[in-house]
């Protein structure tokens, strides 16, 4: 028994150390969050002077939210400083709550602050940024004729559905570049007039428009390569899929395999005849998915063949063993009212919930155990074993509590009755 007492003292000491560390982290989080809000307020004041209030809304909202979260964290902290603090678990939960509230507030402030720093850098380098926008617009505009040629060549090979995402990209890119150049001129005029906030908004719009135009032109070129790759891979995949389909027809019958075969046939039947414009990327994607589903279904059949389905008597034995374990722990708890602690009772409740679920799965707790569907037997056995495991753990905890209660009752008299 000495080693049990030593183990308990060691566990209690480790828990006290962890609780003290968590309390220290909570205090540090409160201080750091409060200081971060102060810094953010200063950042907001400087940014508003340079960019205007409309450009700093995000940081302003983050500060307001941060103050609310910090206030809630301080209220929780006061509860841990009251004379009646509650149980150690409640104190521990409050400290964890303080850390989570402060971390959330600081993360939001850091995110908005980083975005504001980017805006400030953009505004301070306005002449350089405007020159870069015009250079990028000229360079991207030179790519538009080539993008149009690519779309025309793709239209001769592929269906309109295949080109739906890129067909209008060259025209849209040209419109965005016109908008970017116009926005850059507006930014220059507003900046010269001293309207820094409006100049910054126009500059951001121009920068975003150039970025979107580049993305659209890149998408056209990327699609050209992806379509060629898909077209070259499609023929080989079709041949491989047809071979696998023939092999699957010889596999043992299974609902999963039958569904996968139907999916593969549908994917192959959807392929167009020669000379018809098509969507190679869509067909390749669909055929790959059908092939993966067929491979998985056949592999599942092979696994079931190597792992035979348990006979019905194994199912009945597993359920009987689970019920025996449950009855034993129920009798132990019922025979010692008030002696069994909440941990054992909670474990017993979990075991009973799983047993109830098992009864529903079988069609009712009093339903006969027939299980004509052989594929459900392994699942039923797994559920029954889980019930038995939970009940066994509950019994162990209950016996531990009963022994502790008897030791406490025996006190200094020494005589400890056997459990």
- pLDDT for 81: 78
Q: Are residues 176 and 239 in the same domain?
A: no
Average pLDDT value for the chain: 83
- Give the helix/strand (H/E) hosting 164: none
The verdict on residue 412 lying in a domain is: no
The verdict on residue 295 lying in a domain is: yes
What is the percent of the chain where pLDDT is above 90?
Answer: 26
Q: Are residues 281 and 361 in the same domain?
A: no
Q: Are residues 29 and 116 in the same domain?
A: yes
Q: 55-61: long-range contacts (C-beta < 8 A, 24 or more apart)?
A: 55/116, 55/119, 55/197, 55/200, 55/201, 56/116, 58/112, 58/115, 58/116, 59/109, 59/112, 59/113, 59/115, 59/116, 61/112
Q: How confident is the model at residue 168 (pLDDT cuts 50, 70, 90)?
A: very high
Q: How confident is the model at residue 381 (pLDDT cuts 50, 70, 90)?
A: confident
pLDDT digits (tens, 9 = 90+) for 290-333: 989 988 888 877 777 666 666 777 788 888 888 888 888 888 88
Q: Are residues 51 and 104 in the same domain?
A: yes
Last residue of a domain, one of 71, 103, 124: 124
pLDDT digits (tens, 9 = 90+) for 76-90: 888 887 766 778 888
- pLDDT for 1: 43
Q: Are residues 401 and 338 in the same domain?
A: yes
Domain count, the chain: 4
Q: Are residues 116 and 11 in the same domain?
A: yes
- pLDDT for 83: 67
The verdict on residue 380 lying in a domain is: yes
Q: Are residues 238 and 284 in the same domain?
A: yes
Q: Are residues 171 and 215 in the same domain?
A: yes
The verdict on residue 81 lying in a domain is: yes
Last residue of a domain, one of 91, 124, 157: 124
Arithmetic mean of pLDDT, 256-277: 84
Q: Are residues 374 and 400 in the same domain?
A: yes
- Please name the residues in contact with 345: beta carbons below 8 A apart, sequence gap of 6 or more: 333, 394
3-state secondary structure of 52: coil
3-state secondary structure of 416: coil
Count other C-beta atoms under 10 Å from residue 217's C-beta: 25
Q: Are residues 79 and 152 in the same domain?
A: no
Global confidence as pTM: 0.51
3-state secondary structure of 158: strand
The verdict on residue 129 lying in a domain is: no
Q: Are residues 386 and 285 in the same domain?
A: no
Q: Are residues 81 and 15 in the same domain?
A: yes
The verdict on residue 320 lying in a domain is: yes
Arithmetic mean of pLDDT, 231-256: 84
Domain hosting residue 147, numbered range: 137-230
The verdict on residue 130 lying in a domain is: no
The verdict on residue 178 lying in a domain is: yes
pLDDT digits (tens, 9 = 90+) for 329-356: 888 888 888 888 888 888 888 988 888 8
Selection from 51, 60, 68, 57 nearest residue 102 by Cα: 68
Last residue of a domain, one of 211, 230, 249: 230
């Amino acid at each position: 028994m000495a080693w049990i007492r030593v183990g308990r003292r060691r566990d209690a000491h480790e828990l006290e150390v962890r609780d003290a560390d968590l309390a220290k982290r909570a205090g540090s989080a409160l201080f750091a969050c409060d200081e971060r809000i102060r810094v953010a307020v200063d950042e907001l004041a400087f940014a508003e002077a340079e960019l205007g209030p409309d450009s700093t809304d995000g940081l302003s909202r983050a500060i307001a939210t941060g103050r609310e979260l910090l206030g809630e964290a301080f209220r929780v902290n006061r509860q841990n400083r009251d004379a009646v603090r509650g149980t150690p678990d409640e104190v521990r939960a409050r400290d964890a709550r303080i850390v989570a509230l402060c971390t959330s507030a600081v993360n939001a402030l850091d995110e908005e602050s980083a975005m504001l720093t980017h805006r400030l850098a953009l505004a301070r380098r306005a002449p350089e940024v405007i020159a870069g926008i015009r250079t990028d617009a000229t360079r991207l505009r030179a790519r538009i004729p080539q993008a149009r040629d690519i779309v025309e060549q793709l239209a001769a090979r592929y269906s309109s559905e295949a080109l739906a995402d890129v067909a209008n990209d060259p025209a849209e890119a040209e419109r965005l570049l016109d908008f970017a150049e116009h926005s850059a001129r507006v930014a220059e005029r507003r900046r010269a007039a001293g309207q820094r906030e409006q100049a910054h908004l126009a500059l951001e719009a121009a920068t975003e428009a150039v970025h979107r135009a580049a993305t659209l032109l890149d998408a056209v070129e990327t699609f050209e390569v992806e379509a060629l790759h898909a077209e070259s891979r499609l023929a080989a995949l079709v041949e491989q899929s047809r071979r696998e389909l023939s092999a699957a027809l010889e596999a043992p019958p299974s609902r999963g395999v039958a569904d996968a075969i139907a999916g593969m046939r549908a994917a192959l039947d959807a392929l167009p005849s020669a000379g018809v414009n098509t969507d190679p990327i869509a067909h390749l994607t669909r055929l790959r998915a059908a092939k993966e589903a067929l491979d998985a279904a056949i592999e599942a059949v092979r696994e079931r063949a190597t792992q035979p389905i348990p006979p019905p008597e194994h199912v009945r034995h597993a359920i009987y063993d689970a019920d025996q374990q449950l009855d034993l722990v129920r009798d132990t708890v019922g025979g010692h009212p008030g002696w069994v602690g909440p941990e054992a009772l909670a474990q017993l409740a979990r075991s009973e919930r799983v047993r109830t679920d098992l009864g529903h799965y079988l069609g009712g707790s009093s339903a006969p155990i027939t299980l004509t569907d052989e594929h459900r037997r392994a699942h039923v056995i797994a559920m029954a074993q889980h019930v038995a495991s939970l009940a066994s753990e509950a019994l162990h905890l209950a016996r531990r509590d009963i022994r502790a209660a008897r030791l406490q009752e025996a006190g200094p008299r020494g005589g400890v009755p056997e459990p």
